Structure 1
Amino acid sequence: MTRHLSFHPCYCLYLLIVVLFSCRADDEVKLDPEVVSLLSSLEQEIVSLDNNPLVWGDDDLTFLDAVADKPIIGLGESTHGTAEFFNAKRRIFRYLVENHDYKVFAFEADFGESLFLEEAVQQGLKSQIRSLMSEKMHFWTWRTREVRNLLEWMSEYNVGKSEEDKVHYMGVDCQFNTYHPQLLNQYLQAADASFLELSGEVLSKVKADSEDRFEGYSSEDFTIYLGQIDALQDSMITHQDALIAATSEKEFELNLRLLRLTRQVSEVRYYRSIEDYSVNYRDKYMAENTAWMLDYFEGDKVVLWAHNAHIANDPNYGSGSIGHYLLQELPNDYSTVGFMFAQGSFTAVGFEGNQSTGLKEHTISEQPQEESLIEVFHNTNSSAFAVRMSDLQKYTEWNDFFNEGTRYLSIGSGFNDQPEDYYRSFHPSLYDQIIYFDNTTASQLF
């Protein structure tokens, strides 16, 4: 015989309360005492933010005012496919433009491709942005709704503005010679340069051999090849007055930089092909291109968009990151904001071993790695926040934590569904500030 038990409603309520408090107590016990101590001081220093950056008001972003005198601010990302990171950088750029006179958004994107988009941004041609992104951009990482919304806002902003008040979109990357030879050749032909035979031969060779990744080249062959680019540069400088007279000083400066890009790309591709990583040419030259913009745009301040690993002040990222090289050249003129997260979705190329499984949305639901910076951040009472590293270093417990060697989550454009493989060593000198989202969503590709 089956006996049916019944309970008084008050007893049921009492039982529920006991269960809830028991669970909460268990959760609290799970936190290491060191984490509890770190949280206590962290909560005093963070600036809490809404998890949706698009609703941030100017009052939410005043924590940036302390570094807004810097000519260059680097904004990072711990994945190349996170909507919140992209939307936050769009909102921050608008704040810096409207309140601190920043004018240039420099991307970890191809220099040549950016010139097509820059022209549309300058002319306020919002309707052309999507097609140009689809046709000209090399990387899926930027062909997203979030970046498109940024570029369309920049286009709208420029309508009716004077030339000196307009904002600019520029690339700093140096991995392809898809457009550089073609654009430079068009300029020299339009200027009726007296050395067109030389330029035609050199630029044709640059495009073909870059695409072939310098297959069959010896080190002597490559030295001769670079000498040919340098000879073309000498010709441009020798005939500088005539070229400027036929075009303009700005066009000359831009196309001289295009020639410099052909050399940068060649070095990046050649040394990668022979697996010589003694110098991090890519970051070294992205830093050079970023610093060049300060001169080209006559002192207009620059916001740099790139991965956390690039914008960080990291001398151990190869021979150095973009941030490390910038701080060597401009020690007082650069500030860094890293972006981090604990859980949620993002877009990345999947991997199983060394085999690509294609571009897709990934999700991290696991708890953060123990004793990591992300574990501490994950246990705050804020879904998103900003914090200065210098503020945390006021506390003994935080200095001890940093000195013991903590880690943080850093994912690029690929992911193998094993989050533990993507935790990297953290030091507070990497970033001046951190913006953290506890849970993220994937960027929207188109």
Structure 2
Amino acid sequence: MLSKEVLKACKLVSLLLVLVMVFSGCGGTEVERYLKKYAKPVDFEQGLDNKTFGNANDYRFFFAGEIHQQTMIYPAKKMMLQYLHENQGVNYLLMEEGMGAGLLIDHYIQTGDEEILNFALECKKGLHTDAEPERDLWQWLYEYNSQQPEDKKIHAIGIDAEFNINAMIKGISLLVEQPDKVSKEWKMLFEEPMGDEKQSFAKVVSLLLPLEKHEKELRDIFGENYEIVVRIAGYLTSFVSYIQNGGSGQLGDELYSFRDEHSLENIRFLLNTLPEDAKFFAQFGAGHTYQTLVNDFSTGTENFHRLGARLNEGRFPLKGQVCSILYMVENKSGVTKKNEPLGYYDWFDNRVFQDYFEQATFIPLDMEGSPFTQEIEGMVPNEEGAALTDYFQKILILPNSEEAPEIQCEKFRDDLAGIEYSSVRALEVCIDKHLNEPSHEDNAQHLSEMNCLYVPPVCLENTEKIDNIIVAPAWVQVSFEQNEFKYLFEHHFADENAYQLAQYYYKQEKNNPTILEAENTPVYSYDGGIDERWYVWMQDEQCFVLRRLKNGSGMAEKDLLLCSAQKLMLNTERSNIKSTS
């Protein structure tokens, strides 16, 4: 048996061990204990709750930071907006685009006007918002908004630079209150919404500036919307001055600073215009949202500070009321097969959150007693005294993200009574999502029956050659380039009129006709249109036309290689149902 002295010694050692564990932080470091308590997994369908979001009472401006064109920022935006709207009284969504362009999105989420949405999306091509999930986001918001009472509806407002002048002009056209007072010059501008951007910019500047010269006319046309037109004109004035003073139009510190200052002034305008208790949610590129300077290649240098910092300093009305929420977007590594944060977050030691990299997780960093509200050695290298909450107050970890596909556009062609698509994918999206809309009524029946697209052999093998597609009530047209010529390939599904006309020209010896052969099929050829060569043939009892849009000698043999209709199968829900039924 152990002696009493040994037993006492064991008890003393045990007590000392307990005390050491208590005072050294049982269960890990202070940071680990905090994260264990507050880091919560996120289900995008179920959304956030107040407990998960944490401290919100002191905030009026919720500022989420994304990485553009990543798939996971879209479910995050839906979830965040719905939570803030239902739990924090946020009714205003501020967008990283111009006030004029933003009018298109707001019009859509109030009315469901798909033609306006399609126009807005087309104008986003090539911009930071060029991502197909944009379409689903705004359609979701329209549906969500339609279920809200009038005084609770969400309004979308652009506060940044005007990245697309055509979108801005179209937005201005929605502000007209007195159509009968619109001048001929304004009408011409509104009726050519997709004109050359440089020419459109020059025209709209001449119609708005100097503002004093045009004030009476603008007040007559736009009525109560005049002040919004003034804000848009203010942007044009600032931008013209910026460029004239040598400002750079390329992305960089100088342009970012111009944009953030312009956004700040638009927010000031909204604070003076909207109800005093108005709350806001904005989702911009992460670099705009930091409330303290980040000296990093992706966010700028020490030459300036970003919008998040400007909102929260000096005598600005929102000082102390800004909540920055960092979306830490992750891609799965092809090597480790594990999620890793993108390089945009290398300016701080993000490894502290690595236990949560594989699960969408929300972490409020600003709760009482948070270690993130004080300096943690090595957390922000080379920034003495910096706490992580000096930069942002919440973090949402978004694993399994990917680069989003580009916007698949469609637009209505009144001149052809048809719809034009920018790609095969755009056509597939339309077939799956738009056929019940009144705007698609004339073409809905044929679209609903389409399980394939007829194309020449070269486009079957290389679908990226397809420039656009037009679906009209009697025919479908595919545009492509080959042999340094522009071609139109048409499937005339409703009748054989084009074939009968080609036969008539041949018999009457009109338009330089000839008859050729492709794959044992007679092909009638003649000069059609202005400087065009047409080829017409029947295949499987269907009429097809190939049009070369510029005449060229010695091209018949090469053209005949294109005179064969191949089935390019469409990947749509409707075609998939047909193939399995």
TM bucket (normalised to shorter chain) is 0.5 to 0.7
1-structure distance, mates of 2:207, 2:117:
34
- Contact kept in structure 1, 2:366 and 2:373, CA below 8 Å: no
1-structure distance, mates of 2:93, 2:342:
35
- Please say if 1:55 is aligned against 2:45: yes
**Amino acid in the other structure paired with 1:56:** Q
Instruction: Tell me by how many angstroms 1:281 deviates.
Output: 0.7
**Amino acid in the other structure paired with 1:262:** L
- Please say if 1:40 is aligned against 2:32: yes
Which residue number in structure 1 is paired with residue 364 of structure 2?
Answer: 388
2-structure distance, mates of 1:121, 1:396:
38
Instruction: Tell me by how many angstroms 1:134 deviates.
Output: 3.1
**Residues 78-101 of structure 1: per-residue CA shift (max 9 Å, x gap):** x21222222112111011122222
1:430 to 391, 405, 422: 391
Does 314-323 or 180-189 show the bigger shift? 180-189
- Contact kept in structure 2, 1:405 and 1:426, CA below 8 Å: no
- Contact kept in structure 1, 2:331 and 2:399, CA below 8 Å: yes
Instruction: Tell me by how many angstroms 1:396 deviates.
Output: 9.1
Which residue number in structure 1 is paired with residue 192 of structure 2?
Answer: none
- Please say if 1:326 is aligned against 2:308: no
Which residue number in structure 1 is paired with residue 269 of structure 2?
Answer: 292
Say if 1:187 and 1:114 are closer, same or farther in 2 by CA, change over 3 A: closer
Say if 1:39 and 1:383 are closer, same or farther in 2 by CA, change over 3 A: farther
Instruction: Tell me by how many angstroms 1:45 deviates.
Output: 4.2
Gaps of 5+ in 2: 1-27, 188-194, 295-299, 409-581
Which residue number in structure 1 is paired with residue 228 of structure 2?
Answer: 254
2-structure distance, mates of 1:37, 1:112:
50
Say if 1:427 and 1:272 are closer, same or farther in 2 by CA, change over 3 A: farther
- Contact kept in structure 1, 2:208 and 2:214, CA below 8 Å: no
**Residues 22-69 of structure 1: per-residue CA shift (max 9 Å, x gap):** xxxxxxxxxxxxxx746523433432213xx5233343x544363266
1:107 to 82, 91, 95: 95
Instruction: Tell me by how many angstroms 1:210 deviates.
Output: 8.5
SS in 2 for 1:102: coil
SS in 1 for 2:324: strand
Which residue number in structure 2 is paired with residue 281 of structure 1?
Answer: 258
- Please say if 1:263 is aligned against 2:237: yes
Which residue number in structure 2 is paired with residue 17 of structure 1?
Answer: none
**Amino acid in the other structure paired with 1:373:** D
1-structure distance, mates of 2:255, 2:235:
20
1-structure distance, mates of 2:282, 2:341:
31
Does 251-260 or 146-155 show the bigger shift? 146-155
Instruction: Tell me by how many angstroms 1:285 deviates.
Output: 0.9
1-structure distance, mates of 2:330, 2:76:
16
SS in 1 for 2:326: strand
Say if 1:189 and 1:325 are closer, same or farther in 2 by CA, change over 3 A: same
2-structure distance, mates of 1:147, 1:263:
30
SS in 1 for 2:68: coil
2-structure distance, mates of 1:86, 1:134:
15
- Please say if 1:64 is aligned against 2:64: no
Which residue number in structure 1 is paired with residue 18 of structure 2?
Answer: none
1-structure distance, mates of 2:342, 2:261:
36
SS in 2 for 1:379: helix
Gaps of 5+ in 1: 1-35, 201-207, 215-226, 347-362, 408-424
2-structure distance, mates of 1:55, 1:305:
19
2-structure distance, mates of 1:367, 1:185:
40
Say if 1:252 and 1:377 are closer, same or farther in 2 by CA, change over 3 A: same
Say if 1:139 and 1:284 are closer, same or farther in 2 by CA, change over 3 A: farther
Instruction: Tell me by how many angstroms 1:398 deviates.
Output: 6.7
**Residues 100-146 of structure 1: per-residue CA shift (max 9 Å, x gap):** 22112111123322212221211133x44752343232545434343
- Contact kept in structure 2, 1:48 and 1:382, CA below 8 Å: no
- Please say if 1:93 is aligned against 2:54: no
2-structure distance, mates of 1:375, 1:55:
28
2:111 to 120, 123, 126: 123
1:304 to 282, 299, 302: 282
2-structure distance, mates of 1:210, 1:426:
45
Say if 1:406 and 1:80 are closer, same or farther in 2 by CA, change over 3 A: farther
2-structure distance, mates of 1:231, 1:366:
46
1:73 to 62, 86, 89: 62
2-structure distance, mates of 1:130, 1:278:
28
Q: Which has the higher contact order (CA 8 A, sep 6+)?
A: 1
Does 275-284 or 306-315 show the bigger shift? 275-284
Instruction: Tell me by how many angstroms 1:303 deviates.
Output: 0.7
**Residues 267-293 of structure 1: per-residue CA shift (max 9 Å, x gap):** 555511599939811111122223433
2-structure distance, mates of 1:46, 1:209:
52
Say if 1:277 and 1:209 are closer, same or farther in 2 by CA, change over 3 A: farther
Say if 1:278 and 1:257 are closer, same or farther in 2 by CA, change over 3 A: closer
2-structure distance, mates of 1:119, 1:344:
37
Which residue number in structure 2 is paired with residue 168 of structure 1?
Answer: 155
SS in 2 for 1:67: coil
Which residue number in structure 1 is paired with residue 489 of structure 2?
Answer: none
SS in 1 for 2:72: helix
2-structure distance, mates of 1:432, 1:284:
22
- Contact kept in structure 1, 2:40 and 2:361, CA below 8 Å: yes
2-structure distance, mates of 1:138, 1:236:
32
Say if 1:426 and 1:310 are closer, same or farther in 2 by CA, change over 3 A: farther
When the two structures are superposed, what TM-score results if normalisation uses the length of structure 1?
0.63
- Contact kept in structure 2, 1:104 and 1:169, CA below 8 Å: yes
CA RMSD of aligned residues (A): 4.7
2-structure distance, mates of 1:276, 1:396:
28
Higher helix share: 1
When the two structures are superposed, what TM-score results if normalisation uses the length of structure 2?
0.50
- Contact kept in structure 2, 1:49 and 1:56, CA below 8 Å: no
Instruction: Tell me by how many angstroms 1:74 deviates.
Output: 0.5
Say if 1:183 and 1:324 are closer, same or farther in 2 by CA, change over 3 A: same
**Residues 156-210 of structure 1: per-residue CA shift (max 9 Å, x gap):** 233365543321222222145444467658968947889x79999xxxxxxx998
Say if 1:305 and 1:332 are closer, same or farther in 2 by CA, change over 3 A: same
Say if 1:267 and 1:427 are closer, same or farther in 2 by CA, change over 3 A: farther
SS in 2 for 1:157: helix
SS in 2 for 1:442: coil
- Contact kept in structure 1, 2:61 and 2:321, CA below 8 Å: yes
- Please say if 1:135 is aligned against 2:109: no
The share of aligned pairs that are identical, in percent, is 16
- Please say if 1:399 is aligned against 2:384: no
Does 280-289 or 394-403 show the bigger shift? 394-403
Instruction: Tell me by how many angstroms 1:313 deviates.
Output: 1.0
SS in 2 for 1:74: strand
